[in-house]
Amino acid sequence: MEPLIEARSLGKVFPMGGGPVHALRDISVQIAAGEYLTIRGPSGCGKSTLLHILGCVDTPSSGTLRFDGRDVSALPDHARSDLRLRSIGFVFQRFFLLPMLTAAENVDVPQAEAGVSRADRKRRTAELLDYVGLGHRAGHRPSQLSGGEAQRVAIARALANRPRLLLADEPTGELDRANGEHIAELLDRVQADGTTVVVVTHDAALAERAGRRLVMRDGLIEREEHAR
Amino acid sequence: MRALIFAVRSLVRQPGRTALGIIGIAAVGALLFDMLLLSRGLVVSFRDLLDSVGFDVRVTATDSPLPGGIRLTDATGAAAQIARLPGVAEAVPMRTATGEVWQTGRPVIGLMLTGMDPGARRPWTLITGADLGPSLAPPDLVVNQSLMDEVGGALGSEVTLRTGCDSSRAALAPRTFRIVGIAQFPFDDEAQRTAVMTRTALREACGDDKDEADMLMVASSGGAGAAVAAIRAARPDLVPVTNEQIVARMQTQGFTYFRQISAVLSTITLLFGFLLITVLLTVSVNQRLAEIAALRALGFSRGRAAADVLLQGAMLVGAGGILALPLGFALSLWLDQILKAMPGIPASMHFFVFEPRALVLHAALLVTTALLASAYPMWLVARLPIATTLRNEVVG
Ligand SMILES: Nc1ncnc2c1ncn2[C@@H]1O[C@H](COP(=O)(O)OP(=O)(O)O)[C@@H](O)[C@H]1O
Ligand SMILES: [Mg+2]
């Protein structure tokens, strides 16, 4: 079967005043549809950069990236936006929910952007908030939610348009242990329900949950581990 | 979530800043609106004044549109000839002069005198008393309120008036007139003293043997243009002009100051509005960079993110611009009063006059300002590097 993601020799260089920074040197990885992959490694080793490139938020300086068989390494901006909107969900360390909108409205935003009808959006939003266990908090603003709750809303938002791929960058980075555990369980469930999940994390416990784990160092994949 | 609701929420989220923007634009817009009312106010108001008199063509002996040039002679004959032309409803000769009211033991009162027979139309509007009659013993006088106040007597009382008809002629002996009515004269200012008598009475007072008039006031029956053409054909020696032509001449010669002042002040005003909105939107965008980057990561296109900024700018300017109208209108009334206190301004003339085109221009200028003011913050949003912004938010 063709992998959902196929990265070949990805490199990323940031031209800086004090000389170029090689954030990614030579990364090749294939991710099958439905897989759960975690990426860990010391700070600054290029995890976020890799995640951004896999999520079509950034472009590689070298190498190629195929998403669902299609070369996306050099797509124009609007095409990448559209791909992200419909096929990729992002979860951020700091949630980045829109503070002026309620939980339900935050989940509604990407669906409206994708042109989903009002009735379908309403149904899907209710379903997603129930899925993350926050159906009763639909009308609450992010400021009225705990960090763990906000991150669950953010996951619901990332899943709004039924993406093939869910990407999370340190999703438990701002949370205490109990809440982190809760998010980890939720991500397990998302993967079990058929979405490909890639998580970047420092959190060893979270990293251990995935069937496949990459360990990075200095812009390279140092090793790959598999759960037995 | 519709783009509009989205933008409204973003604005409501920063109530202080939004209020500042709207109030700022309301103030800027009020000034702008006033400048637009001012730019053509005098001209429009002058045209209305000319039209209100009921005559739409003026015929003089020379190219000067206002009294003071060479006079028409045989005015009665000329008026009769013109009145018979097709397209002309009425033609009335008018002669102006100065006058002095003499009262024993009191200072002399100077005034403006008109000699004109009341026809179907007349430039004055009677308030109390009677209009001019043919009596010459003594002749009737209709005066304005300020002259009446100055003279002091009652309607029907007699006054001694010395007329000044020509600087070249010797001073004339004072004559007695009877004040029969009080009227309003359209070109009067607050302080001006004015009186009108029949042309025969003025002719006699001036000792004028050539039947002179400063101009013929003509009312057309089928449009001023046609009347002018007919008059030109019948009397090539005379110069007929329409009110429109007088206004056009004023516009290019007399009243350009206000247009220029208005243009300069409008530009400065709009510049302030532009800066205000640009600064507010830019600050707001800079505060929300991470949020915008997150939305972009979630699939918002560049255009969509930039449109959100434009919409916010448009709503600030729109709300402020609407608020500016009543504010500007009130301000214009006040400014108009201040300017009208200048001496020599007819009481029924205004510096700030509303025309629908002012509203259209107001809207168009504000829309342009909103577009220009949003351009820079929109550009910031459009070229926002998503990955770097997200990373800076966490690292920084
Ligand atoms: N936008 C950027 N500009 C310059 N350098 C960057 C940028 N993004 C990342 N880097 C550099 O690339 C390297 C990898 O960064 P990052 O992917 O954020 O690491 P990690 O997520 O593993 O902590 C670091 O050395 C970082 O300084
Ligand atoms: Mg990182």
Q: Is residue B379 part of a domain?
A: yes
The verdict on B83 and B22 lying in the same domain is no
Strands (E), chain B: 57-60, 88-102, 109-116, 125-129, 140-143, 158-164, 175-184, 194-197, 215-220, 239-242
Q: What is the tens place of the pLDDT at every residue in B122-178? A: 888 888 988 888 877 889 999 998 888 888 888 888 888 888 887 666 667 788 899
The pTM (predicted TM-score) of the whole model is 0.80
Q: Is residue B118 part of a domain?
A: yes
Q: Is residue B198 part of a domain?
A: yes
Sorted by sequence, the CB contacts under 8 Å of residue A130 that are 6+ apart come out as none
Q: Is residue B359 part of a domain?
A: yes
Does the structure show a pLDDT above 80 at B285? yes
Question: Residue A160: its pLDDT value, please?
Answer: 97
Q: What is the tens place of the pLDDT at every residue in B351-365? A: 899 999 999 999 999
B1 at A interface, C-beta within 8 A: yes
Q: Is residue B32 part of a domain?
A: yes
Q: Is residue B57 part of a domain?
A: no
The verdict on B124 and B191 lying in the same domain is yes
Q: A43 alpha carbon to ligand 1 midpoint, in Å?
A: 9
Task: Give, in order, the Cα–Cα distances in Å from A217 to each of A3, A23, A43.
Answer: 24, 10, 9
User: d(Cα A181, Cα A102) in Å, to the nearest integer?
Assistant: 24
Q: Which two tokens stand for residue B9?
A: 């929420």
Q: Is the CB of A23 under 6 A from ligand 1?
A: yes
Nearest residue (by CA) to ligand 1, atom 18, is: A48
Q: What is the tens place of the pLDDT at every residue in A88-131? A: 999 999 999 999 999 999 999 999 999 999 999 999 999 999 99
Paired sense of beta strands B57-60 and B239-242, if any: antiparallel
The verdict on B81 and B230 lying in the same domain is yes
Does the structure show a pLDDT above 90 at B344? no
Question: Residue B68: its pLDDT value, please?
Answer: 55
Q: Is residue B67 part of a domain?
A: yes
* Cβ B320 vs Cβ B25: under 8 Å: yes
Polymer length in residues for chain B: 396
Q: State the ipTM, two decimals.
A: 0.96
The verdict on B84 and B194 lying in the same domain is yes
The verdict on B102 and B185 lying in the same domain is yes
Tell me the mean pLDDT in the region B83-87: 91
Return left, alpha or beta for B172; rule: phi > 0 is left, psi -120 to 50 is alpha, else beta: beta
To the nearest whole Å, the CA of B1 is away from the closest chain A CA by 6
In chain A, positions 109-128, which contact chain B (CB-CB < 8 Å)?
A: 109-110, 112-114
The verdict on B45 and B119 lying in the same domain is no
| Coil, helix or strand at residue A22 | strand
| Partner residues linked to B92 by β-bridges | B217
Q: Is the CB of B249 under 6 A from ligand 1?
A: no
Does the structure show a pLDDT above 80 at B223? yes
Tell me the best of A49, A170, A214 to mutate to test the pocket of ligand 1, counting ligand atoms within 8 Å of each CB and taking the most: A49
Nearest residue (by CA) to ligand 1, atom 16, is: A46
Phi, psi of B172 (to 5 degrees): -100, 160
What range does the domain containing B294 cover? 2-50+254-395
| Coil, helix or strand at residue B344 | coil
The verdict on B43 and B70 lying in the same domain is no
The verdict on B42 and B71 lying in the same domain is no
Sorted by sequence, the CB contacts under 8 Å of residue A36 that are 6+ apart come out as A187, A188, A191, A196, A197, A199, A209, A210, A211, A212
The verdict on B213 and B324 lying in the same domain is no
Rg (CA), chain A: 17
| Partner residues linked to B57 by β-bridges | B218, B242
Q: A49 alpha carbon to ligand 1 midpoint, in Å?
A: 6
Q: Is the CB of A144 under 6 A from ligand 1?
A: no
Q: CB B76: neighbour CB atoms within 10 A?
A: 14
Q: What is the tens place of the pLDDT at every residue in A140-174? A: 999 999 999 999 999 999 999 999 999 999 999 99
User: d(Cα B280, Cα B374) in Å, to the nearest integer?
Assistant: 10
**Of B74-78, B203-207, B253-257, which range is least confident?**
B253-257
Pick the last residue of a domain from B184, B208, B237: B237
The verdict on B182 and B67 lying in the same domain is yes
Q: Is the dihedral of CA B73, B75, B81, B87 positive or negative?
A: positive
* Cβ A100 vs Cβ B9: under 8 Å: yes
Question: Residue B14: its pLDDT value, please?
Answer: 87
Chain A partners of B2 at a C-beta cutoff of 8 Å? Answer: 112
Give the highest mean pLDDT range of A40-44, B52-56, B149-153.
Answer: A40-44
The verdict on B85 and B229 lying in the same domain is yes
Does the structure show a pLDDT above 80 at B254? no
Q: Is residue B36 part of a domain?
A: yes
Q: Is the CB of A46 under 6 A from ligand 1?
A: yes
Tell me the mean pLDDT in the region B289-306: 95
Pick the last residue of a domain from B175, B205, B237: B237
Q: Which two tokens stand for residue B392?
A: 């800076």
The verdict on B29 and B108 lying in the same domain is no
Does the structure show a pLDDT above 60 at B66? no
Q: Which two tokens stand for residue A18?
A: 């004090």
Q: Which of B215, B208, B231, B201 is nearest to B86 (CA)?
A: B231
> CA B371 from chain center: how many Å?
31
Structurally, chain B folds into a number of domains equal to 2
Pick the last residue of a domain from B187, B203, B237: B237
**Of A4-8, A12-16, B126-130, B254-258, which range is least confident?**
B254-258
